[in-house]
Amino acid sequence: MPVVLLTGCGVAGTQFHPGVAAQVGDDTITVRHVDQVTDNYCKALEEVSRTQPPQGDQTTPLRYFSSDFVKSLASEAAARQLADELGIEPTKDYQDRLAQLEPQLEPLKSEAQKDAVRDVVGANAYTDDVLTQIGAKELEDQGQSSASPDDQLAAGQKKLDEWAQDHDVTINPKYATELGATEPVDTDLSFAVSDLATKGQAAQVDPAYADALPGDQVCLD
């Protein structure tokens, strides 16, 4: 799907302004919100990790989290608008997933950390739920009444991709992602000029790159 690339000063002829992480139809996701979710989610992981046996070196650059979170939040916003257009409501399974999450949040002392986990998990749960329903209806209309949940979800994602092509869906290129992407997407307006910077653009975390970053740019999960 087309993704409009942003610059630090906005893009001529568009409604984008600095501080916008994504514009999805009528919904605006700010960089500030993404930063807050990323920071608090990371702190939640670190809080939980203190109560578990060491799992080795699991340092992760925050940019990997923020990229995933922008995609999750943008996908939820798009799925919610598509579901509204089609009259689709989330099922009891979605509500149950949210309820099952709450006991897992009890070890966290900060409400901000709990809210960050709810935002991320809830966004993914909502998107999967409504897209599965949308995909099931699409496939049933095509005569496929016994499709698997995976096939239903894939059909729903295809419907969401089609919706995005007809609506204003734009993501800040610094997050290197787009709706439906399973790996980082090369949307960055800058170019890596060193071997270490190149490692920072890899789909999987490079330990050398993660170890070279200052503490405020990584998450010790």
**DSSP string for 164-176:** HHTS-EEE-GGG-
Give just the sign of the alpha carbon dihedral 74, 79, 84, 90: negative
Least confident range of 62-66, 135-139, 140-144, 203-207: 203-207
pTM value is 0.80
Tell me the per-residue pLDDT of 48-100, one tens digit each, with 9 for 90 and over.
877 765 555 577 888 889 999 999 999 999 999 999 999 999 999 999 999 99
From CA 77, how far away is CA 63, in angstroms rounded?
A: 21
H or E element, residue 41: helix 31-49
Most confident of 10-14, 117-121, 184-188: 117-121
